[in-house]
Amino acid sequence: MSAHTNSAEITEGDFAGYDLIVVGSGFFGLTVAERAASQPGKKVLILERRSHIGGNAYSEQEPETGIEVHSYGAHLFHTSNKRVWDYVNQFADFTDYQHRVFAKVGEQVYSFPMNLALINQFFGKSHSPDEARELIAKQASEFDTDAAQNLEEKAISLIGRPLYEAFIRGYNAKQWQTDPKNLAANIITRLPVRYTFSNRYFNDTYEGLPVDGYTAWLEKMADHPNIEVRLDVDYFDVREQIPAGTPTVYTGPLDRYFDYSAGRLGWRTLDFEREVVPTGDYQGTAVMNYNDADVPFTRIHEFRHFHPERDYPKDKTVIVREYSRFADENDEPYYPINTPENREMLERYRELAKNEARERNVVFGGRLGTYKYLDMHMAIGSALTVFDNKIGPHLADGAPLDGSLDV
């Protein structure tokens, strides 16, 4: 069974004898570590700067209610990749939970994403699918999509002004702390409108939540005699102690690894405000978006609704308000910001990453390590591919490591 120790117990000799160092214990790092330990039987050391395993997927029980809370925002597992689904089912059983979201605009609540129910409710009239398509197409004709100059024009060209004003403008202004007229059109590629009454948020083949929670799932991935986990360890405090040439998978911030030599990549971050409220059901659903600009938070999570099968208290519940803002230097990075400046910096870091693989056997992966937004299933799928194509061959026969950030 993997042991969890802290940085106070680390000495230079502790790094000897490991075949692979993994920096970060999120899903990408854990998947690579598990594959290396279980397939070729290599010894793996995971270094985690936080005091817990699992990165942003970590969950914990709220002490007053016992309700499982996702500490870094709601995590919903879904995938159409059968290999990923079969892989994760080795470590967790999944419920049949299907995610549904609702949106509060003014004094009304709507089913979301936009579907036939929302269109009928919003416009106060029943529409057939063809009538709804015709209505939205007419309203969207105000702007040409290809000629849109900003996010506002792009959104209106996709769904029309009435739906944009109600559901997109205020929400995006809060998300980006910027008037959508001043945001680039390429921030959105599409705004899905469903001309059916389906309100399932994801369309993937497989969906569910781990029966015993995310932390139990994550711990089981690391539960292998060839895996050692060190918590409360900042890789940059100890990397000089790691024997030169030791294969390393780095999943921390890409720019931090290179000491910001090409500049600081931009990120969005999230703030969470947790509250226990004296009612058995606060909002009747797991996630409620608040689309109006004058409401400071973007959404409220009520975590009891993720696991209706559990015996949670009937007289109290946990809600978490979520706020979005630009990340400062010391904030937790969540979402990469796709601007020309960031893309230019990223290209320079890509070249540095390729050199680092050749010269020091370091491979970069995960959301932070590649500067890509990755859902959980994407991070796991990427890790499986990286292990198959890079890490596994290197550990097996010393094949050169490819430092490309693409898989």
Residues catalogued as catalytic: 190, 194, 268, 299, 322, 373, 375
Across 113-186, the runs of DSSP E, i.e. the strands, are: none
Closest to 30 (Cα-Cα) out of 8, 52, 12: 52
User: Please, are residues 9 and 228 in contact by the beta-carbon 8 Å criterion?
Assistant: no
Rounded to a whole number, what is the largest CA-CA distance in the chain? Answer: 72
Instruction: Decide: helix, strand or coil at residue 132.
Output: helix
Closest to 389 (Cα-Cα) out of 66, 14, 21, 35: 35
Report helix angle 214-222 to 27-38, nearest 10.
30
User: Please, are residues 43 and 18 in contact by the beta-carbon 8 Å criterion?
Assistant: yes
Closest to 81 (Cα-Cα) out of 378, 393, 402, 387: 378
Q: Tell me phi and psi for residue 95, to 5 degrees.
A: -75, 175
Place of tokens 């403008």: 169
User: Please, are residues 204 and 80 in contact by the beta-carbon 8 Å criterion?
Assistant: yes
Closest to 76 (Cα-Cα) out of 307, 319, 406, 308: 307
Q: Is residue 24 classed exposed, middle or buried when 0-12, 13-18 and 19+ CB atoms within 10 A define those classes?
A: buried
**What span, in angstroms and rounded, lies between the C-alpha atoms of 338 and 184?**
9
Token reading at 344 = 């230019």
CB count, 10 Å around CB of 115?
Answer: 21
Token reading at 266 = 């931009």
**What span, in angstroms and rounded, lies between the C-alpha atoms of 56 and 366?**
12
- The C-alpha torsion from 73 through 79 and 85 to 87, rounded to 10°, is -60
